Amino acid sequence: MPEAKLIFQTYFEALIDAKDLSELPVAAFGLDFVHGLDENLEAIEAGYFTDKDVFAGVVDGRNIWATDFVKTSALLEKIQANVKTLVVQPSCSLLHVPVTTKNETELEPVLKNGLAFADEKLQEIKLLSQRLDGEESDAYKQHVADFDALQAADFRNVTLENLDDVATERVDYKVRRQVQQEKLGLPILPTTTIGSFPQSPEVRRTRLAWKRGNISDAEYEDFIKSEIARWIKIQEDLDIDVLVHGEFERVDMVEFFGQKLAGFTTTKLGWVQSYGSRAVKPPIIYGDVKHIQPLTVKETVYAQSLTDRPVKGMLTGPITITNWSFERSDISRADLFNQIGLAIKDEIKLLEDAGIAIIQVDEAALREGLPLRKSKQQAYLDDAVHAFHVATSSVKEETQIHTHMCYSKFNEIIDSIRALDADVISIETSRSHGDVIESFETAVYPLGIGLGVYDIHSPRVPTKEEVIANIERPLRQLSLEQFWVNPDCGLKTRREPETVAALEVLVAATKEVRAKYGK
């Protein structure tokens, strides 16, 4: 079709080799001026696109904040002066943001007026285009005023703890491990789970009844306590070594924290696609983040009161909270990581003071946030490691810090995983066909590690022989003292019968391996 006009569309980053690409036989280029601003603008001003139409992605399609019209209008004028024709568009598809803010009636007006979901972003494109054509409407002026009001809001200027006063290193792991083992008295190849247990239809029905006001706060709390008690008993009967409370009070491992930390809010109908048919409502980080109330202490301490076995405190880490939220765009990601790290540090202190000896800080999405450009990846990883240290390094030597990561290409970030200095890391591995395990077998990894021994994404109950094989393969490289035995991931989406049956196999397999090694 020689008459067809082709657009070379890009997003999420700047062009590489823009001069060479500009010579492609296409009529137009779509460029991301949100996530690739500096490099793409440099290419425009170098004159590479003077004979091309440019579709300028200046409205952020991946986040929910209103566009800075003053800066963006000036940017569009620079672009227009160096291209054949300019078209204003989002930086990418709008599937990454909710549909409209009009139903978010419970949000503070200053915040709501500073948001732009998909419908509002389309209106932004219209207003910016009109301004470029010389029409500065009242709606444009009001948008500028709303944007400025959000930037000046008190909640974006909170006094936070000085990072210089926060510990970011712990004593050597070998020292910590000995102190922790003396306190915990765990067997070789300790067994545990990742955190959540099945969110049964009864759990979901009861939560919905509570949200609708059909049952009281006290009734809902009693129900949660009964589920915790029931699953503590199940875990004891299974003879699991380190227990969890089950997270029955949580809908989502990030939204739950967003409902309790200052600087966060949640929406009424801000749903976005997660994967497949699954949707989530990411919290919005709108202001400076601060710990203002206990987040998890009540449920964790109650669970610990029911058993002599250690119960893990379960927290989500600063990087995962950031990556699974709509984050602020007016401060750096490093600053945001550290703000959340400080908040998690305060919650860890409360758990530690309440007698919780093992605390898990999940970083399930650490790898997920890795920048596309290799030149930017190490800075991200360094910032992530530092924030994790901010959260976890103030604990006592005898407090054992765990973390969990979901399946990804860990060989690319193994040095940063080691640098987290978590006492124990649990990794999703059973679907990796050995690739993830190989990352840890071929690297020198001196810390505690649990490589998931069965796939929780399937209802199938593994055989004891399969679990034994999945325990013994890593032991060719890792020591018995390092290795923990756990499922791949949380058990929230599984049903109770298959969960109990699979954990029975896990414990039986572990005991057989212990016997084989004379432990």
pLDDT, one tens digit per residue, over 332-379 is 999 999 999 999 999 999 999 999 999 999 998 898 899 989 999 999
pLDDT of 5 over the 80 cut? yes
> Residue 212's Cα: distance from chain center in Å?
28
pLDDT of 26 over the 60 cut? yes
Average pLDDT over the chain reads: 92
Active-site residue, 291 included: no
114 close to 147: Cβ distance less than 8 angstroms: yes
Lookup result for tokens 């955190």: 195
pLDDT at 158: 80
486 close to 453: Cβ distance less than 8 angstroms: yes
- pTM of the predicted model as reported, rounded to 2 decimal places: 0.92
Give the Cα separation of 420 and 54 in Å (integer): 43
Average the pLDDT over 6-11 and give the result: 94
Where residue 434 falls among pLDDT bands split at 50, 70, 90?
low
Which position among 143, 245, 433, 457 bears the catalytic label?
457
Average the pLDDT over 17-37 and give the result: 94
Nearest in space to 288 (alpha carbons), one of 239, 252, 340: 340
How many CB atoms lie under 10 A from the CB of residue 434? 11
How much is the CA Rg of the chain, to the nearest whole Å? Answer: 25
Q: How far apart are the first and last CA of the chain?
A: 73
pLDDT, one tens digit per residue, over 383-397 is 999 999 999 999 999
pLDDT at 414: 85
Q: What is the DSSP letter of 311?
A: B
pLDDT, one tens digit per residue, over 99-148 is 999 999 999 999 999 999 999 999 999 999 999 999 999 999 999 999 99
410 close to 367: Cβ distance less than 8 angstroms: yes
Where residue 478 falls among pLDDT bands split at 50, 70, 90?
confident
Domains and CATH numbers, the chain: 7-152 (3.20.20.210), 172-518 (3.20.20.210)
pLDDT at 123: 97
Helix 118-132 with 138-151: angle, nearest 10 deg: 120
Provide the 3-class DSSP secondary structure of residue 71: helix
Average the pLDDT over 490-502 and give the result: 94
327 close to 280: Cβ distance less than 8 angstroms: no
459 close to 423: Cβ distance less than 8 angstroms: no
Where residue 435 falls among pLDDT bands split at 50, 70, 90?
low
DSSP for 238-251 reads HT-SSB--B-TT-S
pLDDT of 433 over the 50 cut? no
Provide the 3-class DSSP secondary structure of residue 316: strand
Q: What is the DSSP letter of 191?
A: B
- Residues sharing a CB contact under 8 Å with residue 398, sequence separation 6 or more, in sequence order: 176, 179, 180, 182, 183, 357
